[in-house]
Amino acid sequence: IPTDLVAELHDDGGIVNVNAVDENKRTVLMWACKGGSEVDEVIVERLLEEEADVNAVDANKKTALMYACGGKSEDIVKRLLKKGAKVDAVDKFGRTALMYACSGGSIEIVERLLAAKAKVNVGDGEGITALMYACWGKSEDIVKRLLKKGAKVDAVDKFGRTALMYACGGGSVEIVVWLKTAGVKVNEKDKYGKTVLMYACELQREVIVDWLSKKVANVNEKDEYGRTALMYACEGESIV
In this predicted model, what pLDDT tens digit does every residue of 123-135 receive, in sequence order?
999 999 999 999 9
Q: How confident is the model at residue 13 (pLDDT cuts 50, 70, 90)?
A: low
Residue 58 CA to chain centroid, in angstroms? Answer: 19
Instruction: Report the C-alpha gap between 145 and 159 in whole angstroms.
Output: 25
Query: pTM above the 0.75 mark?
Result: yes
* CB neighbour class for 217 (10 Å; exposed up to 12, middle 13-18, buried from 19): exposed
Q: How confident is the model at residue 5 (pLDDT cuts 50, 70, 90)?
A: low
DSSP state of 54: T
Predicted confidence at residue 78, as pLDDT, reads 96
Q: Which residues pair with 10 in a beta bridge?
A: 15
pLDDT > 90 in the chain, percent: 79
CB-based contacts of 240: which residues, under 8 Å, 6+ apart?
Answer: 201, 204, 206, 209, 210, 233
- φ, ψ for residue 15 (rounded to 5)? -85, 120
Q: Tell me the per-residue pLDDT of 36-89, one tens digit each, with 9 for 90 and over.
A: 788 889 999 999 999 999 999 999 999 999 999 998 899 999 999 999 999 999
Q: What is the CA radius of gyration of the chain?
A: 21
